[in-house]
Amino acid sequence: MRNSKGDTALHIAARAGHFSVVKILVEKSRDVQGGRKETNNILIRIQNKGKNTVLHEALRCPRSDVVKMLTEKDPELWCFVNEAGESPLYLAVKGGLTEIAREVLQSSHTCSRRAKRLDGITRRNYLGRLQ
């Protein structure tokens, strides 16, 4: 079920930083979805009306343990941009989660490689803020 803002229970738990609840919901979603690898991330990738994923919401809290757990389950969450044009990487830097942002920028993940190649505001602002 979703609320009037399009949030699932996972969105709400992630926003509140409830690690144990997020973990249970992610694990139970695997059971409901049959445990198949290609369907494991459906609940994690649901976007609310503002196009925020659970990672966007977790980064607003911010609880690095929730962020790390979600992105270990689905590294592609770093690729989603919300309605305001904010990527999870942007929110990590804005929220002062410099260690997580540094890890993403140094990783070999597709989205982080794309961010590394950008000439404009993204790479310079991210790396400048991390100094």
Tens of pLDDT, residue by residue over 33-64, are: 454 544 456 788 999 999 999 999 999 887 78
Q: Could you tell me if 70 and 61 are in contact, meaning their C-beta atoms sit under 8 angstroms apart?
A: no
Residue 123's pLDDT is: 47
Residue 43's pLDDT is: 83
Percent of the chain topping pLDDT 70:
72
C-alpha span between 92 and 79 (Å, rounded): 13
Specify the CATH superfamily of domain 9-130.
Answer: Ankyrin repeat-containing domain (1.25.40.20)
Low-confidence ranges of the chain (pLDDT < 70): 30-41, 108-131
CA 79 to chain CA centroid, nearest Å: 8
Exposure on the CB side of residue 40, measured as CA atoms within 13 A: 13
Residue 42's pLDDT is: 78
Those residues with Cβ within 8 angstroms of residue 77's Cβ, 6 or more apart along the chain or in another chain: 44, 45, 53, 54, 55, 70, 71, 88
| Phi, psi (deg, nearest 5) at residue 8 | -90, 175
C-alpha span between 118 and 113 (Å, rounded): 9
